[in-house]
Amino acid sequence: MLCCTSWEYIYSSSTTPHNSPQNAFVKGNYKKAKALHGRHQSKSNLRSCEQSLIVHIPGEALHLQRANKMQKLAIFRARLWLYRSFSSLSSNPLRVCVVGSGPAGFYTAEKMLKAHQQAQVDIIDRLPTPFGLVSSGVAPDHPETKIVINQFSRVAQHERCSFLGNVTLGSSISLSELRELYHVVVLAYGAESDRSLGIPGENLKGIHSAREFVWWYNGHPDGQNLDPDLKNTDTAVILGQGNVALDVARILLRPTAELATTDIASHALAALEESSIRVVYLVGRRGPAQAACTAKELREVLGIRNLDISIQESDLLLTPADEEELKSNRIHRRVYELLSKAVTSNPKDAGLNKRKLHFVFFRKPVSFLDSKDRPGHVSGVHFEKTVLEVVGPGKQIAIGAGEFEDIKCGMVLKSIGYKSVPVDGLPFDHQKGIVPNDRGRVLCDTSEPSVVEKGLYVCGWLKRGPSGIIATNLHCAEETVSSILEDLDQGELISSSALPKPGKDGLLQLLHDRNVRIVSFSDWEKIDSEEKRLGSSKNKPREKLATWEKLHKAISE
């Protein structure tokens, strides 16, 4: 190993003046090397030291053609020490695979690339298009929310990052195979299924999940075949009062002329233009003090032009328990204030308005009603009235009151929550709908609660459940990456004696052998360009290619 005197000799014997910029650079890196020498070094710092000392000292400060014998010997020794110190690390870089290219996946990749200077990060996704719910979940009339795509694109274009679309975990490649190929596997594939109510009539035609409906109007390739019937009814019931429920209500009730200049899918816009739906019910189990939406989303739907808002004033009466909840929750307090204001400011003559939105509280669905005129199709929802019961400080649950009523409708959209699905070999808590984890470390399916699956991590909805906004995933990713770095420092993930992991090269070979058509980020950029080209002729930011065939065709051309 090179002794400190060798570093001192490189600096002191430099042929350049001591006050020159070049020698100042050498002095700074000499101090860095001396500080790192003889103690534990993080790989990111070592990598930085390696680059600055090898690249810059010979090229900028010490000119070999003018160096004397002792200077050349010092440089040689420095290079030899650096080579021995870093060769095992550089030949076995940290291989990281992130499954899922939504906000959780991209934030994880971004934090990993910044935290570890040798990490090679590959992001895989079952879709040929990246960005997850930012693309397929954010409403088309919320373009400002989608600006984060620019940040995620820069991550995908990083020299140590790759996007591999059209790769499905569980069919294209198994979880066990990914773990063989990579030191670290982070599961961030979100929640692509729906919770079930488990009540009679749930399979009747005309009943859809809000997720399916959102995919349909956002041009998700799996959503085009939904074909909701918007013509044969004037009333829709939405079960749930969260942000997704409000998004869906807004799309149904907002004038289509205002949607025409968004990136809404063309097939959805055409259907909405011919829609007969004029009345929408937003139904919740609890009261306005517990409504799960945010003030921003509520304000938007309340501000729709020519829309009559209906709220029972008696529903706005607060109990002491409600007041206690609102004291400790600013978001709920603001939502309640907006709902109260909507009752007093809303015009009483509904005949002046073309469309109507009912906020219905304290109701839980009991069954769906079959249509007599259209057998097999929903004709309404049978509800039980509820009351709230205090079960703890600041917490109330809805229980049945034994009174029932029906709301007639021809379409029902269930916005009762997304659900994650497990893959083979993955521990899963079916009750909570998440992967059991400790700060992102996946816990083994054993009786020992603290045993972790080495090298396997989780982030996003799969980690904490389907809640929060896009920015919530940033903090979630920071926690998971922090756990990865802790395990790395403890030598749990990679060591100098370990054989290198194949990483991306091994994955590409395996997928090639299975005839999987991989979509790279440059391929996605072709899709992106084509969508923008098609949209420009319609005064839209983009015209989404909403089928698998169209997406693959754009790549091939």
Query: Is 352 annotated to bind ligand?
Result: no
219 exposure class (CB count in 10 Å sphere: 0-12, 13-18, 19+):
buried
Amino acid at 541: P
Q: What angle do CA 338, 340, 346 make, to 5 degrees?
A: 90
Assess contact for 301 and 249: CB atoms under 8 A: yes
Amino acid at 478: E
Assess contact for 323 and 246: CB atoms under 8 A: no
Assess contact for 366 and 384: CB atoms under 8 A: yes
Query: Is 184 annotated to bind ligand?
Result: no
Structure-token match 């076995």, residue found: 92
Q: Where are the beta strands (DSSP E) in 342-463?
A: 355-360, 363-370, 378-392, 395-408, 411-414, 418-419, 437-438, 441-443, 452-458
Query: Is 285 annotated to bind ligand?
Result: yes
Assess contact for 532 and 541: CB atoms under 8 A: yes
Query: Is 297 annotated to bind ligand?
Result: yes
Relative orientation angle of helices 21-36 and 4-12, to the nearest 10 degrees? 170
Query: Is 244 annotated to bind ligand?
Result: yes
Contacts of residue 73, Cβ cutoff 8 Å, sequence gap at least 6: none
Query: Is 157 annotated to bind ligand?
Result: no
Rounded-to-integer distance, Cα 299 and Cα 321, Å: 25
Token pair, residue 264, equals 């809404």
- Using CA atoms, how far residue 56 sits from 13, 30, 62, 513, in Å, is 16, 12, 9, 43
Query: Is 202 annotated to bind ligand?
Result: no
Q: Where are the beta strands (DSSP E) in 170-300?
A: 184-187, 193-194, 207-209, 235-239, 279-283
Assess contact for 504 and 162: CB atoms under 8 A: yes
Structure-token match 């934030």, residue found: 107
The count of residues in the chain is 557
Rounded-to-integer distance, Cα 70 and Cα 469, Å: 61
Query: Is 243 annotated to bind ligand?
Result: yes
Assess contact for 381 and 284: CB atoms under 8 A: no
Query: Is 398 annotated to bind ligand?
Result: no
Helix intervals (H) in 125-260: 133-136, 148-156, 175-181, 210-218, 243-253, 256-259
Query: Is 119 annotated to bind ligand?
Result: no
Query: Is 89 annotated to bind ligand?
Result: no
- CB 243: neighbour CB atoms within 10 A? 17
Rounded-to-integer distance, Cα 256 and Cα 105, Å: 34
**Rg (Cα) of the chain, in Å, rounded?**
29
Query: Is 431 annotated to bind ligand?
Result: no
Q: DSSP labels for 26-49?
A: HHHHHHHHHHHTTS---HHHHHHH
Structure-token match 């034994």, residue found: 402
Binding site, annotated residues for NADP(+): 241-244, 285-286, 297, 468
Binding site, annotated residues for FAD: 104, 133, 169, 461, 468-470
Binding site, annotated residues: 104, 133, 169, 241-244, 285-286, 297, 461, 468-470
